[in-house]
């Protein structure tokens, strides 16, 4: 069946009911506008009728660029799609792009689940991804705003953020995320730190070493120090001497000798 392209007035187009959150930077939008201004609209948008107006199904960014260019009409393919078919088309348009931001992708998937009650398997089938892939995006959707921002601005990798998101309580999680966003962390290191803070015996703060030494002074006369690998305080006679740079930055690059940061102050 031949696809018919129709010119539709811009002012009767409505944005998608469930749209990918728009966070494209100005340069990307400018590039799209420059291309459309020079070459026109290479690929028409897809819309569906909603009474006397039309809802954009695919081509939300192209429609936005056309509005900014002052276009009166835009080439469109009209589809008489119901809610389910329209949602599938939107999912393919939004989630199959190579430049999809993982946070925007997560928010779109989260909206699908909240509004349409789609389960993980249904969404995985729609976007041709694994169920674990969808679960990771749902985890991002449920993250606090500051952690989503670290992912979006690449201060934390997706794997590291997923690992650190499991840390509780929230005050500890935020402290760790801000610390590693500034100082860097690998996925393996983030998983190790998360496991330590979720264990029954969380890591001992290096800052608390002196306090613990004073508390144990009456029971143990041995000089105490913090282990460079796990941070726990032990007798100096049970520790091996380690030569390391004073700033300790090199420890981050070696998971086996990685020192978790101290927990935030309790007051």
> What is the CATH classification number for the domain harbouring 30?
3.90.1530.10
Could you tell me if residue 264 is inside a domain? no
Residues 154, 87, single domain; the answer is: no
pLDDT of residue 246 exceeding 70: no
Residues 61 and 100 sit within 8 Å (Cβ to Cβ): no
Could you tell me if residue 109 is inside a domain? no
Could you tell me if residue 232 is inside a domain? yes
Residues 157, 96, single domain; the answer is: no
CB neighbourhood size of 185 (10 A):
26
Residues 92, 150, single domain; the answer is: no
pLDDT of residue 259 exceeding 50: yes
Residues 92, 159, single domain; the answer is: no
**Position with higher pLDDT, 210 vs 112:** 112
Q: Give the pLDDT mean for 251-266.
A: 55
Residues 78, 155, single domain; the answer is: no
β-strand partners of 76: 6, 45
39 backbone dihedrals φ, ψ, rounded to 5° = -110, -5
Residues 105 and 137 sit within 8 Å (Cβ to Cβ): yes
* SS3 (DSSP) at 33: helix
Secondary structure of the chain: what % helix, strand, coil (to 5)? 50, 10, 40
Could you tell me if residue 242 is inside a domain? yes
State the total domains in the chain: 2
The pLDDT assigned to 225 comes to 64
pTM above 0.75, yes or no: no
Q: Of the residues 65, 100, 135, which one is the last residue of a structural domain?
A: 100
pLDDT of residue 104 exceeding 70: yes
Q: Give the pLDDT mean for 236-241.
A: 65
Q: How far apart are CA 112 and CA 106, in angstroms?
A: 10
Tokens of 13: 């187009």
Tokens of 1: 């069946």
Could you tell me if residue 108 is inside a domain? no
Residues 247, 158, single domain; the answer is: yes
Residues 151, 215, single domain; the answer is: yes
Question: Which domain, by its residues, includes 63?
Answer: 5-100
In three-state form (DSSP H/G/I as H, E/B as E, the rest C), the secondary structure along 127-192 is HCCCHHHHHHHHHHHCCCHHHHHHHHCCCCCHHHHHHHCCCCCHHHHHHHHHHHHHHCCCHHHHHH
Could you tell me if residue 175 is inside a domain? yes
């Amino acid at each position: 069946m031949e696809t018919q392209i129709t010119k539709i007035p811009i002012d009767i187009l409505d944005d998608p009911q469930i749209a990918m959150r728009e966070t494209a930077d100005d340069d990307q939008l400018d590039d799209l506008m420059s291309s459309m201004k020079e070459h026109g609209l290479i690929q028409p948008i897809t819309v569906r009728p909603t009474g006397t107006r039309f809802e954009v199904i695919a081509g939300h960014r192209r429609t936005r660029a056309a509005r900014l260019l002052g276009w009166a009409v835009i080439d469109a393919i009209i589809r008489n799609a119901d809610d389910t078919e329209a949602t599938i088309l939107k999912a393919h348009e939004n989630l199959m792009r190579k430049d999809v931001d993982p946070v925007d992708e997560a928010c779109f998937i989260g909206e699908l689940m909240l509004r349409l009650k789609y389960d993980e398997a249904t969404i995985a089938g729609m976007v041709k991804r694994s169920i674990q892939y969808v679960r990771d995006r749902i985890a991002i959707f449920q993250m606090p705003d500051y952690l989503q921002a670290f992912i979006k601005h690449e201060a934390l990798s997706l794997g590291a953020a997923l690992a650190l998101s499991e840390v509780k309580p929230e005050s500890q999680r935020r402290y760790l995320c801000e610390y590693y966003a500034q100082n860097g962390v690998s996925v393996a290191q983030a998983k190790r730190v998360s496991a330590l803070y979720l264990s029954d015996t969380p890591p001992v703060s290096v800052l608390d070493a002196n306090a613990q030494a004073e508390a144990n002074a009456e029971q143990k006369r041995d000089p105490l120090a913090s282990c460079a690998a796990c941070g726990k305080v032990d007798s100096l006679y049970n520790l091996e001497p380690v030569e390391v740079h004073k700033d300790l930055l090199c420890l981050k690059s070696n998971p086996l000798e990685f020192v978790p940061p101290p927990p935030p102050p309790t007051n």
